[in-house]
Structure 1
Amino acid sequence: MKIFSANKGLRVLFYSLILASLPVSALARAHASPNGKEVFQQTISGVVADSSGPLPGVIISVKGTTRSVVTDQDGKYLIMASNDELLVFSFTGYKTVEVIIGAQSTVNILLQEDATQLEELEINAGYYSVKQKESTGSIARITAKDIETQPVTNVLATMQGRMAGVSITQDTGTPGGAFTIRIRGQNSLRQDANQPLYIIDGVPYASESIGSADTSVATQNAQSPLNSINPSDIESIEVLKDADATAIYGSRGANGVVLITTKRGFNTPAKFSFTASSGFGSLARKMDLMNTDQYLRMRRAAFANDGIAPYPDYAYDVNGTWDQYRNTDWQETLIGGTSEIHSYQGSVSGGSANTSYLLSGSFRQETTVLPGDFKYSKGAVHFNMAHRSDDNRFKIQFSANYIAQNNILPATDMTRLSRTLAPNAPALYNGDGSLNWAEGTWDNPLSELQQDYRSKTYDLIANSVISYELFNGLQAKISLGYTDLKNNEVRTVPSTLYNPAYGLGSESSSLNTNYTTRRSYIIEPQLNYNVIIGRHKLDVLIGSTLQNQKSERLQALGFGFSSNALIYDLSSASTKFITLSDEPQYKYLAYFSRVNYNYDGRYIINITGRRDGSSRFGTGNQFANFGAIGCAWIFSKEAVLDYNSILSFGKLRASYGITGSDQIGDYQYMDTYGSAANQYGGVIGLNPIRLYNPAFGWESNKKTEIALETGFLKDRLFLSAAWYSNRSSSQLVGMPMPGTTGFQSLTANLDAIVRNQGWEFTLHSENIALKNFNWSTDFNISLNRNKLLKYPNLESSPYANTYTIGQPLNIIKLYHYTGQDPDTGIYTFEDKDRDGQITATGDRITQADLNPRYFGGIQNHISYKQWTLDFLFQFVRQKSLKYLPAPGGTSVNQLSEVSNSSWQQAGDIASYQPYTTGVNSQAVTAYYNYAQSDGGVTDASYIRLKNISLSYDLPLTHKAMNCRLSLQGQNILTFTKFNGDPESRFANALPPLKFYTLGVQLNF
């Protein structure tokens, strides 16, 4: 329990004395009550505070009436009440206090934090909110307090390691790059059909990556759609996982639902806030590669092993053409720069008793670790307004978020080159500052930076909710949402990119453009009825959804620019192609309902149902029904536990239901045509590209969960454990077609079943709670097992070498590595089919599971007086393939460990086979077989200090101003045996960066 500090108490006392000094005659009026007693109608004033000082936003109401006010930023209030009435002081996270007014005109209140605030905490479940203690579904949650400690630009990064069952991986360290999110595993056979549903302030937001693969794939920079929301504008993020929580979203909830709620204003006088931060980022981990001495010894040994002498003319690295003593750390040179980060945000919020508002603006700019003037800029404006009538029946709320992004990056990720270039390769520049081509002996890597990738994205998300209480307990509501996205991206390839020795002219220059617009609107009318009769509580919700989304895409390609100065002007190209012109439209209609019954706060049952219709299916298959049932028993409220002093909360819950998926793309069931690649008679015709098949329908996901939630010692220790099983069937895949049809596949429902089953555990502990020192810990761990249970005729399908019945979807089939030939040192493998040859079809049947075995995080929050420290360790147990860029001895740099452990002579025990320049075909073949064998699998588990934040609240004399200094870090330390970055695990993509930022926040 917190204790009211002396200095804050004096401040409250000071306010109280001022208000108490006002004459009673000016504040009170007397009248007679019906029973003859004198009743005083007077102005009651006071200050509401907690142990840290005055509390703004506390609701003070006169019990049994509609009169209510809210404390201002100094915790002060004024309200009219009679001396026989009761004042009710309520604030989220604090115990509610009721006070009989009597003869007093000043009422000062010290609120205490609720030790069992979990029981009263309202969480967002999408179409409704529910007290966390009474929730029958599985909902993970983080708030602004967790988000504001992280110096990141993507909301998905704020969730890493903090939510059980939610696996998030950063695919690339390039600014604005993509993330992969999986909620309780992979349900669909199609990788692009496992995205969750994103809801931002009640508006569905498309999960597809922004942009085109043709323009952005070279940078590994498919943009994340979640860049279109500013993390500092977010109040909370809820992730819905089980059937009870997701079934109300029907077909869109199969892979989970991510609910994002933005910040709102308070009913207080105007309050201003300004935050500024600056920092830098760098490569979190580098690979340990060979230096020049190790590299040249390897190369010379390779030529000796192959019997090649003298060194050939093309062996520039060893024949003396290149400096034999030059040593360049190409990782440091090409991707080892410093990224600069600057972020600014300002906001104003406030309101009156009935109206609140918030307006904020932010700007963030981030450069890259690559050489050159590349940067990612993002500006955002957020607005929220809410109003209610005096009788509290009519309510309206409006929110809007507008984001403008400008991304200027090189069109090629330099990571692969930084790891493969010979360490004695020539200098990058000549003495005059021009690129050094070393007389045509190498392709200068900086020439790749002359390719340009530019992307501009403008995104508007707006929502309005209007509600009216028709009569006590019955509320009508309508939610209106609109999104408007525009994305324009280009990738240029100038002729100066190429080595002058190639003799390529302007005809080799090109421009690839993509322009995409996506607009959608959604209308959701709803009726909600709730009633309490004695110990019985009933809550009924019915509603419908109408959504329309239309996109326009135009992709063009131009070749041959007379000058690189004209390369951004498509009309200047000598040859032009319209590679795609498309206007897909998606329509969605649904009806949903929910019935929740609660008896005495102990027994709860929740039933949801939804009927969905989608334009992505043919006539007769457009509609499907989904639903779920969830129940909970709060056994800690049973009479037998009334006098228990240890168990403060206990709940057993279970759920079962069916959700679905229509993530198949538009028009997949229709005959589809595209422009022909070749002309006939000078006329461009049409080619059929897809066959008609109206018979396929929805994917189905059956979800089961059983969970136990327990709190001990007034919830200072809170534990939860959940077991779940999800079975996804009617998989939407491309069924292979005979070549005689002219089509490779036909989209259809495959009678395949994928199961995800696992455990989730969470722990929250209030370790220490004193006047000036507090320490709390949050821990979560998830264990998911993915398995393909059924796949008809798998052996004869194109996926025979990809999947195995009874194994996870993400397995890889490998050769079984048996060691090295003692006489030659060449890698050897088991001949599974005993045909005397090592072949993919007969011998690659050993399996390796690259799915995480378990993952989670442990977070600590420590505060001492004005100091606050937060830090999060993220951990993952997993396997990965080793980094094997090329056979040892070729002109490709290797891991430094290769230099000391290659086979030399008969009898050697070594980890790597003999070096070869590439002419030893037996060794080269064995190398590539090894890269696809279980010998090439390694442990990629890691523990990472994902986030750390240290802040200090400056003690200011001005009571209305608050100043906080903060130091934040991201991806600070990594403990792993993996040579490289274990999170991304992609050798050719820039790994996540390490960030430090220093910031200041002013509130006044």
Structure 2
Amino acid sequence: MGGKYLIDFSIRADGSSSFGADRKWGYFPSVGGAWRVKQEDFLKNSSTVSDLKIRASYGVTGNQNGLGSFAALGLWNSGSSYQGNPGIAPQQLANPDLQWERTNQLNAGADIAFFGDRLGIELNVYRKYTSNGLLSLSLPATTGFASYRSNTAEISNKGFELAIRSVNFQNSAFSWITTFNVARNVNKIEKLENPLEYGSRSLILLQQGHPLYSFWVYKQLYVDPQTGNTVYEDVSKDGKITVADRQIDGSIWPKFFGGLTNTVTYKGFDVNAFLAFSYGNKVYNHNKFFGEGGGARDAARVIFASNNARWQKPGDITDVPRPDGVNVNNYRDGGSRWLEDGSFVRLRNLTIGYTIPVRHISSLRIYATGSNLFTITKYTGLDPESSASSAQNEQGIDLGTPPQPRSFQLGVNLTF
């Protein structure tokens, strides 16, 4: 068809010893197609639209990350002595139904360019649905096991990605090119029989109907101007603040995120600047929980200057309660006061270079690069991108995490 219509299809089969005897094999097909609309007669001679392609794809992938080689088997371990006699003991519960985690993904998109490719737009929309999600479920200690692996979750992701590239100006001496991209992902746990708690003070909750990595907190309403005590939302309406009053309040997922890159060249000079941004995500500032504890923590803790904003006398309006080493309610573990907006704009990278014309050498370029030169954010911690743990289900908690370093580099590129 002259390259106007493209289609491809594939299928793969993967086997793994991690799964049950009848579940070892997974079959994962994919299909994709594209239509080069620009090659149609009604667009072929257009001087405005220089390219247009529409594409779509559907595929299934499998996942076994985090599993041991024999995760579905009941395992025993040696070294369990009893009254001086050598012995063995159960190490792992069997789950013969353990199987591949499967993700179905549908993509659709378009690539369009105008004015001889001076303006290009790429749009992608997608929907991913994960079934048989692999999770480690806790067990009562009386069983003799702490947890076992199971296919117990279903999770959906849907969103879009938009990229725009513009050649703003270009001639033999000067050029200026801008690239902008923005994306949004909506995550939701579609199926999970029982909520799962993760992270310090169980700050992260996985619960059906909410996003992964949601924050589970006591929502602080205000500090009583007369008493200086913290007032939390009494969700259960029983007149007491208990674990039943904890609620989901935001997650690590931004509403939008992306970046902006500008590249400028003038004769031998070149400048490249990359700005990254994120909007709408939450970060739990656990450093502030300890440093703004008002005496409710142990005496060895750091004291933050924000304690100066504490309630001190009747009539004071503040969100920092009175210091009280006894009334830990004012500084309750998991209070929403330390849950902050993690939105930011960051100059991720700036590079300035100059190419020196030298005889008998193909290219000689000197350059200077700076990384993380500045960050604009309302987050009061050291870095809005901090996470104290690399564990998959414990993201978004900032506790003693070093910020991303600001760095500088000088270099020379020499090509003969």
TM-score (normalised: structure 2): 0.89
> Which residues in structure 2 correspond to 1:862-901 (within 5 Å)?
862-877=264-279, 878-882=281-285, 883-886=288-291, 887-889=293-295, 892-899=301-308, 901=309
Partner residue in 2 for 1:970:
371
Q: Is the 8 A contact 1:736 1:798 kept in 2?
A: no
* Aligned pair partner of 2:144 in 728, 735, 742: 742
* Aligned pair partner of 1:699 in 94, 101, 115: 101
How far the C-alpha of 1:926 sits from its partner, in A, is: 2.1
How far the C-alpha of 1:831 sits from its partner, in A, is: 1.5
Q: Alpha-carbon deviations, 1:482-541, whole Å to 9, x = none? A: xxxxxxxxxxxxxxxxxxxxxxxxxxxxxxxxxxxxxxxxxxxxxxxxxxxxxxxxxxxx
Verify: 1:928 aligned to 2:332, yes or no. yes
> Which residues in structure 2 correspond to 1:127-276 (within 5 Å)?
none
Q: Is the 8 A contact 2:126 2:158 kept in 1?
A: yes
2:307 is aligned with what amino acid?
Answer: V
Q: Alpha-carbon deviations, 1:789-828, whole Å to 9, x = none? A: 1123x26x77898223221011112222121223320111
Partner residue in 2 for 1:121:
none
How far the C-alpha of 1:740 sits from its partner, in A, is: 4.3
Verify: 1:828 aligned to 2:237, yes or no. no
Separation (CA, whole Å) in 1 of partners of 2:320 and 2:136: 41
Q: Is the 8 A contact 2:214 2:248 kept in 1?
A: no
Decide whether aligned partners of structure 1 residues 978 and 741 sit closer, same or farther in structure 2, where only a CA change above 3 A counts: closer
Report 1 or 2 for greater relative contact order, CA contacts < 8 Å, sequence distance ≥ 6.
1
2:289 is aligned with what amino acid?
Answer: L
How far the C-alpha of 1:739 sits from its partner, in A, is: 4.5
Separation (CA, whole Å) in 2 of partners of 1:875 and 1:943: 4
Q: Alpha-carbon deviations, 1:606-635, whole Å to 9, x = none? A: 111111111222322111111111111111
Q: Is the 8 A contact 1:874 1:943 kept in 2?
A: yes
Separation (CA, whole Å) in 2 of partners of 1:636 and 1:798: 52
How far the C-alpha of 1:696 sits from its partner, in A, is: 1.2
Q: Alpha-carbon deviations, 1:859-915, whole Å to 9, x = none? A: 11111111111110011112212332241245533332331x211111111221112
Partner residue in 1 for 2:358:
956
1:647 is aligned with what amino acid?
Answer: V
Provide structure 1 residue ranges, at least 5 long, that are not aligned to the other structure. 1-598
* Aligned pair partner of 1:729 in 90, 108, 131: 131
Separation (CA, whole Å) in 1 of partners of 2:305 and 2:294: 11
| Superposition CA RMSD, Å | 2.1
Partner residue in 2 for 1:616:
18
Q: Is the 8 A contact 2:230 2:329 kept in 1?
A: no
Separation (CA, whole Å) in 2 of partners of 1:940 and 1:740: 41
Separation (CA, whole Å) in 2 of partners of 1:737 and 1:885: 31
* Aligned pair partner of 1:669 in 66, 72, 82: 72
Verify: 1:605 aligned to 2:7, yes or no. yes
2:166 is aligned with what amino acid?
Answer: S
Separation (CA, whole Å) in 2 of partners of 1:668 and 1:981: 38
Higher normalized helix content (fraction of residues): 1
Partner residue in 1 for 2:410:
998
Percent identical: 32
Q: Alpha-carbon deviations, 1:539-570, whole Å to 9, x = none? A: xxxxxxxxxxxxxxxxxxxxxxxxxxxxxxxx
Provide structure 2 residue ranges, at least 5 long, that are not aligned to the other structure. 388-397
Verify: 1:904 aligned to 2:312, yes or no. yes
| Worse-superposed segment, 613-622 or 939-948 | 613-622
Q: Is the 8 A contact 2:98 2:149 kept in 1?
A: yes
Q: Alpha-carbon deviations, 1:189-247, whole Å to 9, x = none? A: xxxxxxxxxxxxxxxxxxxxxxxxxxxxxxxxxxxxxxxxxxxxxxxxxxxxxxxxxxx
> Which residues in structure 2 correspond to 1:278-293 (within 5 Å)?
none
| Worse-superposed segment, 988-997 or 816-825 | 816-825
Separation (CA, whole Å) in 1 of partners of 2:265 and 2:139: 64
How far the C-alpha of 1:992 sits from its partner, in A, is: 1.0
Partner residue in 2 for 1:304:
none
1:884 is aligned with what amino acid?
Answer: F
1:1002 is aligned with what amino acid?
Answer: L
Q: Is the 8 A contact 1:854 1:876 kept in 2?
A: yes
The SS at the match of 1:897 is: helix
> Which residues in structure 2 correspond to 1:418-437 (within 5 Å)?
none
Partner residue in 2 for 1:843:
245
Decide whether aligned partners of structure 1 residues 880 and 738 sit closer, same or farther in structure 2, where only a CA change above 3 A counts: closer
Larger radius of gyration: 1
2:311 is aligned with what amino acid?
Answer: W
Separation (CA, whole Å) in 1 of partners of 2:124 and 2:276: 20
Q: Alpha-carbon deviations, 1:444-481, whole Å to 9, x = none? A: xxxxxxxxxxxxxxxxxxxxxxxxxxxxxxxxxxxxxx
Q: Alpha-carbon deviations, 1:157-189, whole Å to 9, x = none? A: xxxxxxxxxxxxxxxxxxxxxxxxxxxxxxxxx
Q: How many residues align?
A: 393
Decide whether aligned partners of structure 1 residues 838 and 697 sit closer, same or farther in structure 2, where only a CA change above 3 A counts: same
Separation (CA, whole Å) in 2 of partners of 1:769 and 1:848: 45
Decide whether aligned partners of structure 1 residues 943 and 705 sit closer, same or farther in structure 2, where only a CA change above 3 A counts: same
Decide whether aligned partners of structure 1 residues 954 and 731 sit closer, same or farther in structure 2, where only a CA change above 3 A counts: same
Q: Is the 8 A contact 1:787 1:809 kept in 2?
A: yes
1:680 is aligned with what amino acid?
Answer: Y
Q: Is the 8 A contact 1:867 1:952 kept in 2?
A: yes
> Which residues in structure 2 correspond to 1:81-120 (within 5 Å)?
none
Partner residue in 2 for 1:359:
none
Partner residue in 1 for 2:393:
none
How far the C-alpha of 1:683 sits from its partner, in A, is: 4.8
Decide whether aligned partners of structure 1 residues 798 and 998 sit closer, same or farther in structure 2, where only a CA change above 3 A counts: closer
